[in-house]
Amino acid sequence: MEPDRTEGMELPERDVWAAMLRGWRGRCPNCGQGSLFRAFLKVADHCPACDEAFHHERADDAPAYFVILIVGHVVVPMVVAVEVAFAPPYWVHLSLWIPLTIGLSLVLVQPIKGAIVALQWAWRMHGFNPDDAEPLPVPTRQPVQRK
Ligand SMILES: [Zn+2]
């Protein structure tokens, strides 16, 4: 928790790299203790340890973009290198690169999403900045209002 402050007071800097490392590990960017996720790719509304709000996050499709960027830059050179060196039949390519691509993507997507949410938190993007005039997204676990 950050100390109380009066309006107009400068917000304290947040350590971007420490926050992103915590997010990469699936931990709260604020305290590093509570889990950032409530499911594989569902970000929790609040940290269970320090109660920091996460429902402001808007990672959107940035995690998928970075996963494609990284996995593509790992797998494509390997495909080319194996093709140039051994020219194996296509079934060998398929049985190597499809599982590798899917596996790498599944391994990377949660840490990358955690790091992106933590980056948004550290830079006080969207609702993570209490002074932001942007309307705040509603937490997903609020009770449903029925008439
Ligand atoms: Zn926390």
pLDDT of residue 11: 84
The CA 14 to ligand 1 mean position distance, Å, reads: 14
- C-alpha 111 – ligand 1 centre gap (Å): 17
Residues of the chain with confidence (pLDDT) below 50: 1
- pLDDT number for residue 126: 81
Q: Which residues pair with 105 in a beta bridge?
A: none
Q: CA–CA separation, 53 vs 72, rounded Å?
A: 33
**pTM, to two decimals:** 0.82
- 33-61 pLDDT, tens digit per residue, is 999 999 999 999 999 999 999 998 999 99
CA 78 – ligand 1 centroid, Å: 39
Find the 58 Cα to ligand 1 centroid distance in Å.
18
- Going from the C-alpha of 48 to that of each of 18, 25, 87, 93, 120, the distances in angstroms are 19, 16, 52, 45, 19
Residues with Cβ within 8 Å of residue 140, at least 6 apart in sequence: 45, 55
In angstroms, how far is CA 68 from the centroid of its own chain?
14
What's the CA-to-centroid distance between 15 and ligand 1, angstroms? 14
